Structure 1
Amino acid sequence: MTVRNLDALFKPKSIALIGASQKERSVGAVLARNLFRAGFQGPILPVHPKNAAVEGVLAYADIDALPLVPDLAVIATPPASVPDLVGRLAQRGCRGAVVITAGFGEGGDSAGMGLRQAMLDAARPHVMRIVGPNCLGILVPGAGVNASFAHVAALPGDIACVTQSGAVATALLDWATARGIGFSHVVSLGDSADVDFGDMMDYLALDPGTKSVLLYIEGVTHARKFMSAARALSRLKPVVVIKAGRHQAAAAAAASHTGAMAGSDAVYDAAFRRAGMLRVTDLSDLFAAVETLARLPPVKGERVAIVTNGGGCGVLATDALLDEGGVLASLAPETIAKLDPKLPRTWSRANPVDIIGDAPGSRYCDALDGVLADPGVDAILLLNSPTAVASSVEAADAVISHLKRGDKPVLTSWMGELEAQEARRRFAAADLPSFATPTEAVKGLMHLVRHRRNQAQLQQLPAAMPDATPPDHATVSAILAQARADGREWLDEAETKRVLAAYGVPVVRTVAVETPEEILEAAKDLSLPLAVKIRSPDITHKSDVGGVALDLPSVASAKEAAAAMLRRVKALKPDAEIAGFTVQEMIRRPGAFELILGTASDPTFGPVVLFGHGGVAVEVRNDKALALPPLNMPLAYELMQRTRISRQLAGFRARPPADRDAIAAALIQVAQLAIDHPDLRELDINPLLADEAGVIALDARIRVQEKGKAAPVAVPPYPNHLETQVVIRDGTLVSLRPIRPEDAPDIITMIEQVDPEDVRLRFFAPLKSIPRPMLARLTQIDYDREMAFVARPMLDDGSLGPIWGTVRLTCDADLTVGEYAILIRSDIKGRGLGYTLMHQIIGYGQERKVGKIVGTILRENEPMLTMARDLGFGLKVSEEDTGVMEAALPLAQ
């Protein structure tokens, strides 16, 4: 389920309160008071077996006595009674319930878990949606709904708050109400037995009254659903998330560096970043994010100007800005020239703009005008320190009256308590964010900057990956299957190198032997010098037991080193099973960087990818970052840039830069390996040497798990199985495959070859060029919820020609309706490609069990109307626009 019947919860026409009470301070009494005093315009029906009335309103003895079927039922009765109540309400036609009651398996209680399942079983046949159990309730101020036992009502507004903690909800309500910040929705999910974060994000994405969303998360259950909903919502509205709790149990059992990160909070951080969300760390940051999101326009860049009446405060703000990764704007010469005659002779003539301690309000306004007009400034921070020669309140009033709402965010920090408190109150009343200290203001501003960065990642248009050898799936599958058949968790080094080589990761030449004597023959073709390493399923860190010998000048010395190593390892680890040795060529790349690349299977989000500074001191350096696969070149670069070593990879002093494209390609290949083979539990490449000549994996480990044990990939990967070839009506062989983000340049080229009239018929308006956000949206799709195919002719030499046409199907979250769109290059029309693409997308819809396919067609677009009729679509004139026909094709389920 996703958004089905959520309107019954958040836009009900009638509400029943089961468990209503008149007992002072009881949950039932608070619920009744909140419901009746929220301004709900429909009937509210209290249910109580004994009380004749609740809050002065006639009560009903049980739900069978209700005079009508409520849209929404609020249930606050003992847990044992809830499944029966839910079943009876659902049978009567009630489609939404908020279950306040606890006792449904919290802490793993088996009896409670049974009640929880019984409640869900009673609701599902009737598609009744449930918020809770064990929750604070829901508040929808715009609809007059306060079905909660919160101590304060929410003000109307356009921020939605969805939380797993009722305590966080009440704290946020208390804080926001004191500052005049309102909400479109406040939803306490509780145990999320039915309605979860994915459902709520899908619903709020389409809610016109919600402009931004706050999430308080303790854990995610359905990761792919969560990621799909989060990415869709983040494209439309700012999403701020705070994540509580750490999950170290899985990490404690891991034996690789990457595996130790699986199940950790860092994986959630990677997921939120990939979804375009803004993550904050604590409630104070959440409140600051509310302040900025509620009251500021989006920031269009990262360059900040600081205006202050005190030089020291400006320095503090600058330090805080740079500490947070912000950018101090450089004032244009024209700006300085404009400010010179208006500011005191001793002003700073630089950023921060120090307007001197005696600055009246008019001087703030003059400085503000100057920096707002500077094209090199994206946001402004105004600071005020109280002085005896100028009024802080007067300065605040001047700024409030002078500042016009523009497209650049302006934040204020009036320091102190006496006058500053009144100034901050006036800023709040004027809808201008204000903070007690410069550091807090900078953090609020950086929330906007980080959100912009995450949004930019959602809209990036990646270049094609450098040419790479197609992966050898069969070889890898066979190696992993053999390890499982042998009952082994770990591949030996030779097997690991074969797996990496099968996916195009450069590896050092390696041979495996069982005894020291076999080295003489097996290693004779390897280049000298050599390295010898112990092979043992019981030894993962070889150097800890003397299981590595390097720089061996001859094959004979390699044999002797192996014999000595065998004696040493048996003495240190007598119980370890010794499978033999690996012998490999020593790689001499003296200026190379030592990196670590890896993947691990996270219990919630499936495979994750790690990049960082490698070598034997990897744990000590702790310089690493995580990302969710699949990756492309921009995502791989972004992952690299989140580490400290990334700055070194760019080159410094006499050390040339490393081939970062080669590193990014290795990351992409390793990410694809994890996607294609989910039974690969952990992979470490450490070190991966990288220099100007490229990369090479020196040492690596792979751990295998049983098939079906891994969580699925959280971000839907490219569906290779949908690639096909077809012959169109004129006999041309055409490749059809799902669209990729890297197709963006070819899509632009295709549209440039479409007549302007055909573009107008497709987009319902003239379009000279495709805006970047639209192009990103067209090419970066969620393969779970939408599909777009591109058609390219197969050329005589076996290569592919340019894109001739595209067709797409965009589905709602429930897959009940999918809307199609198609565009063919004008010079290709009439060759049968349009019908081929439509058959392809209809077949895809049938495979995905989409309820029906719909489309909107201009009445003048007779060729498209004819094709729709030929394909079985029903046509009718749109009720909203008589110039548009609505096409619909029900699909067999």
Structure 2
Amino acid sequence: MTIRNLEALFQPDSIVLIGASEEPESIGAVLTQNLLNAGFDGHIMLVNPKHKNIFGMVCYADVNDLPQTPDLAIIATPPKIIPSLVNTLGQMGTRGAVVITAGFAEATDPQGKQRQQQILDAAKPYLLRLIGPNCLGILVPGIGVNASFSHINAIPGKLAFVTQSGAIVTSMLDWAHRQGVGFSHIVSLGDMSDVDFGDMLDYLANDSQTSAILLYIEAISDARKFISAARAAAGMKPVIVVKSGRYAEGIRAAASHTGALAGSDAVYDAVFRRTGILRVYSIEELFDAAETLATLPRLRGQRLAILTNGGGFGVLAADSLAEQGGTLAELSEETLAGLDKVLPSTWSHGNPVDIIGDAPGSRYADALQVLEKDKGVDAILVINCPTAVASGSDAALAVIDSLGKIKNLHVLTSWVGNGSASKARSLLVTNHIPTYPTPARAVTAFMHVVNYRRGLEILMQTPPSIPEQFTADIDTARGLVEAALDEQRSWLTEPESKVLLQAYGIPVVLAKTAKTIAEAATIAGELGGPVALKILSPDIIHKSTVGGVALDLQGATAVTLAANEMLVHLSQVLPEANIEGFSVQPMVKRSKAYELIIGMVSDAQFGPILLFGQGGTAVEVINDKALGLPPLNMRLARELIARTRIHRLLVGYRDTPAASIDAIALTLIKVAQMVVDLPEIMELDINPLLADQHEVMALDARIRVEKTDKLAPAHLAIKPYPKELEESIPLSDGRTLFLRPIVPEDEPALRAAFTKLTPDEIHLRFFVSMKNSRHMMAARLTQLDYDRDMALILTDRGIPGKTDVYGVVRIVADPDREKAEYAVIVRHDMTGMGLGMVLMQRIIDYARHSGIKEIHGDVLRENKAMLKLCKVLGFSQSFVPEDMSIIKVRLVV
């Protein structure tokens, strides 16, 4: 359940407060006063069996006595009676409730969780949605709802704030009042028994009164639901998050290098990055980001000009911008000449633009007018530090006046100081101009907007085609895993791990197993040349740390000597270890190869997490890593590589050639696919993975497996490509086409297909004329969340993006997955072959198997062919009253 009935919570016509009171300083009294004084135009009812009147209003003894069914119930009663209250409300027809009361799942009382489940059980038959329990309440200022026990009300605005913590709400309200920032919604979720962050993201993403969403997260209850909702919301409007508990205990005490490196906070970082959410690291940053988003128009780019009356503060701001990866605008010759005309000769003649400490307000205005005309400037940070010869308030008024005269002027401000700057800051706040106490905070706020935009651009980039197509030997891989589990082993041996990697096309140095020293010596002789000798023991994971590895051994004698020494040493340091033998493999020497690590660990909340970084025996000490979520494509894999420090070496330097980034990225994709296919894999290390300019080679690997009830792909936080929907479609002319789910790599082919559509086809499909197909549109059509959308593309077999597109059908489901809108198009030169029928039948089958109950669409009256097809398929048809040129078609599936 996602947004179903959430309108009862956030758009009610009537509200009942159960537990109303007028006892001073009680929660019931605060709730009552807040509810009555917020300006709600609907009907408010109060319930308390101990009172007949509260604050002059009639108070009812029981919900059954209410004169009408409330849309929304606010419950602040003792915990024990709440399940029966919810049941009664559900029977009455109430569809939303906010449970303020604590003492449920968060309590030490063992009955707390049981009571919380009783509330959910009571609500479920009626689809009654619950916020809480143990929450501060909700505020919807635009309609006058303050159903909370906050100390002040919120003013209407365009920001939504969703949090688990009630204390954060009150802090946010204090700040917002000082800054004049308003909200569309403030929601305290509390224990999230029902409505959670995923639900709120889906609701607010489609709310026209919300321009940006702020989140304070302590924990996420449903990983896949959150990721799916966050991806959708972040693509529509900015979503900014603070996640508490950055230094909490990691995933668990893991035996692998990957497990030791992949802490829980780093996992959240990976999740937020994958969804397009912008993460900030303090409430202060969240406040600053909120102010920037609330008051700064949409930026066209990331180039910042700095205008200041104090050179030192300008330099500090420029330093902060550089540290955060920002771009200092390069002023054009025309701009420099224009500034020369309006500024003293001693101005800085560059960016930062230092207009000297005696600058009056008029000088600020003149400089702004010149800078605004520079096409290389996307935003301007105006800094004022107090001086005895110029008024900071006059300067603020000049900026305010300039913004009133110049359209699309993007300005952030920082009036430095506490005393004399306070009045100027108040003027800026009153006029909705973003202002910050220090230039560094202003720069950080600017970079929040820039980084949000960058993140979206990265996510919408078209991934390159995979350099080679690979087909995994899944049977061999699964056989290895099942054999280990049947033998009640948690770890595959090194040779087994390498065979598993080889089944996914990952180059490995194969190791041979020897049960005795004599066998190891014989193998070494057969291999010829130097070899590596490693101990085999289910009790020894990190072999090199306990002396279980010997390298560069030449011949049988050297191997015999090294094996004896190894056994003696291990008997002293790990006498309890069960030694099963040795592995022997040829030495691989590549002087200009890099040692990397690719790994995976299963997070309790988000499932498999991938890791890439600098490898070797000191991997934890170096701690150079980046985390990501499977599945991957080439763009995501390259981005994962680029986030590490070693990437700067991998691209080549001085006389050292670059490593094959494509080969490394492809290996990441193959590991990700392995993780998708085999939910039993709990931890994996490939360390070291050698990478040079030609290829990669896995020298060592370890894999931990565990029996699991989850079948692929249920173990993943992101639903992977549904290969089971692939199908060959024979044509009457003897050709065979390939029907499959669309992938991001299809974007170039889809854009090319648009160019082959006739103007009439475009009009019938999109209802408008379209001169060209832009990248962003095609990207949005190909980059799907398979959890909620599906598009099937009819093409030739081959590399995605490099084959012709003959037809596409898609459905876009609502967040509840109750209904979905369809769209279909077949290239005009392929009509008359029954392909439209094939595409529609397949998407109807998909909808039926996915639990979608209704497919609908809008069809132009002139599109006779589509209307005929819909009639054959059983769609009902009806006119759209507000536009008689459109016919609404519906099919119950």
Q: Under a length normalisation based on structure 1, what TM-score does the superposition of the two structures give?
A: 0.97
Matches within 5 A, 1:764-803: 764-793=767-796, 801-803=803-805
C-alpha displacement at 1:186, in angstroms?
A: 0.6
Match of 1:464, SS?
coil
Equivalent of 1:809, from 799, 808, 811?
811
Aligned counterpart, 2:133: 133
C-alpha distance in structure 1 between counterparts of 2:85 and 2:625, whole Å: 52
Aligned counterpart, 1:464: 465
C-alpha distance in structure 2 between counterparts of 1:258 and 1:21, whole Å: 55
Answer with 599-608 or 704-713: which moved more: 704-713
**2:750 maps to 1:747:** yes
C-alpha displacement at 1:422, in angstroms?
A: 1.0
Match of 2:551, SS?
strand
Match of 1:321, SS?
helix
C-alpha displacement at 1:777, in angstroms?
A: 0.9
C-alpha distance in structure 1 between counterparts of 2:236 and 2:438, whole Å: 32
C-alpha distance in structure 2 between counterparts of 1:723 and 1:665, whole Å: 22
Q: Under a length normalisation based on structure 2, what TM-score does the superposition of the two structures give?
A: 0.97
Matches within 5 A, 1:20-59: 20-59=20-59
Matched-pair contact (CA < 8 Å) for 2:748–2:801: no
What do the CA deviations read for 1:343-396 (whole angstroms, capped 9, x no partner)? 221222221111111222222223223332222222221111112222111111
Answer with 132-141 or 552-561: which moved more: 552-561
C-alpha displacement at 1:817, in angstroms?
A: 0.7
Aligned counterpart, 1:410: 411
Match of 2:805, SS?
coil
C-alpha displacement at 1:804, in angstroms?
A: 0.7
Match of 1:69, SS?
coil
Change (3 A) 1:40 1:248: closer
C-alpha displacement at 1:799, in angstroms?
A: 14
Aligned counterpart, 1:486: 487
What do the CA deviations read for 1:60-101 (whole angstroms, capped 9, x no partner)? 111111111111111100000100000011011111111000
C-alpha distance in structure 2 between counterparts of 1:730 and 1:861, whole Å: 26
What do the CA deviations read for 1:832-888 (whole angstroms, capped 9, x no partner)? 111100000000011011110001011111111111111111111112211111000
Match of 2:649, SS?
helix
Match of 1:717, SS?
coil
Where in structure 2 are there 5+ consecutive unaligned residues?
none
Aligned counterpart, 1:702: 703
What do the CA deviations read for 1:287-308 (whole angstroms, capped 9, x no partner)? 1111111111233332222111
Matched-pair contact (CA < 8 Å) for 2:465–2:801: no
Aligned counterpart, 2:589: 588
Match of 2:490, SS?
coil
Change (3 A) 1:250 1:312: closer
C-alpha distance in structure 2 between counterparts of 1:343 and 1:102, whole Å: 62
Letter in 2 for 1:673: M
Equivalent of 1:758, from 743, 747, 761?
761
Aligned counterpart, 1:637: 638
Matched-pair contact (CA < 8 Å) for 1:751–1:825: no
Match of 1:194, SS?
coil
Answer with 455-464 or 151-160: which moved more: 455-464
Answer with 251-260 or 306-315: which moved more: 251-260
What do the CA deviations read for 1:586-628 (whole angstroms, capped 9, x no partner)? 1111122221111111111111111112212212222111111
Letter in 1 for 2:450: V
What do the CA deviations read for 1:75-130 (whole angstroms, capped 9, x no partner)? 10000010000001101111111100011121453201111111111110010011
Change (3 A) 1:672 1:300: farther
Match of 1:615, SS?
coil
C-alpha displacement at 1:547, in angstroms?
A: 0.8
Matches within 5 A, 1:85-124: 85-107=85-107, 109-124=109-124
Change (3 A) 1:526 1:409: farther
Matched-pair contact (CA < 8 Å) for 1:876–1:885: yes
**2:625 maps to 1:624:** yes
C-alpha distance in structure 2 between counterparts of 1:618 and 1:7, whole Å: 51
Aligned counterpart, 1:368: 368
C-alpha distance in structure 2 between counterparts of 1:359 and 1:315, whole Å: 18
**2:287 maps to 1:281:** no
C-alpha distance in structure 2 between counterparts of 1:518 and 1:650, whole Å: 42
Match of 1:804, SS?
strand
Aligned counterpart, 1:358: 358
Aligned counterpart, 1:889: 891
C-alpha distance in structure 2 between counterparts of 1:108 and 1:376, whole Å: 59
Match of 1:638, SS?
helix
**2:97 maps to 1:76:** no
Matches within 5 A, 1:178-193: 178-193=178-193
What do the CA deviations read for 1:222-254 (whole angstroms, capped 9, x no partner)? 100000000101111110111112575553421
Aligned counterpart, 2:823: 821
Change (3 A) 1:521 1:759: farther
Aligned counterpart, 1:738: 741
C-alpha distance in structure 2 between counterparts of 1:733 and 1:628, whole Å: 35
C-alpha distance in structure 2 between counterparts of 1:627 and 1:413, whole Å: 37
Matches within 5 A, 1:671-686: 671-686=672-687
C-alpha distance in structure 2 between counterparts of 1:496 and 1:595, whole Å: 17
Answer with 119-128 or 647-656: which moved more: 647-656
Aligned counterpart, 1:329: 329
Match of 2:216, SS?
strand
Letter in 2 for 1:744: E
Answer with 105-114 or 389-398: which moved more: 105-114
Answer with 45-54 or 108-117: which moved more: 108-117
**2:723 maps to 1:720:** yes
C-alpha distance in structure 2 between counterparts of 1:524 and 1:826, whole Å: 68
Q: Percent identity?
A: 52
C-alpha distance in structure 1 between counterparts of 2:39 and 2:2, whole Å: 28
Letter in 1 for 2:316: L
What do the CA deviations read for 1:2-61 (whole angstroms, capped 9, x no partner)? 111111111111111110111111111111101111111111110111211112111111
Letter in 1 for 2:815: A
C-alpha distance in structure 1 between counterparts of 2:657 and 2:512, whole Å: 32
Change (3 A) 1:799 1:753: closer
Match of 1:822, SS?
strand
Match of 1:236, SS?
coil
Matches within 5 A, 1:131-530: 131-246=131-246, 248-249=248-249, 251-262=251-262, 264-404=264-404, 406-407=407-408, 409-524=410-525, 526=527, 528-530=529-531
Match of 2:859, SS?
strand
Match of 1:807, SS?
strand
C-alpha distance in structure 2 between counterparts of 1:399 and 1:176, whole Å: 22
Matched-pair contact (CA < 8 Å) for 1:263–1:604: no
Letter in 2 for 1:712: H
C-alpha distance in structure 2 between counterparts of 1:150 and 1:87, whole Å: 28
C-alpha distance in structure 2 between counterparts of 1:226 and 1:164, whole Å: 14
Matched-pair contact (CA < 8 Å) for 1:513–1:582: yes
C-alpha displacement at 1:811, in angstroms?
A: 0.2
Aligned counterpart, 1:875: 877
Change (3 A) 1:265 1:835: same
Matched-pair contact (CA < 8 Å) for 1:262–1:603: no
Letter in 2 for 1:745: P
C-alpha distance in structure 2 between counterparts of 1:193 and 1:231, whole Å: 23
Matched-pair contact (CA < 8 Å) for 1:726–1:733: yes
C-alpha displacement at 1:476, in angstroms?
A: 1.2
C-alpha distance in structure 1 between counterparts of 2:248 and 2:212, whole Å: 32
C-alpha displacement at 1:556, in angstroms?
A: 4.1
C-alpha displacement at 1:263, in angstroms?
A: 5.6
Letter in 1 for 2:342: K
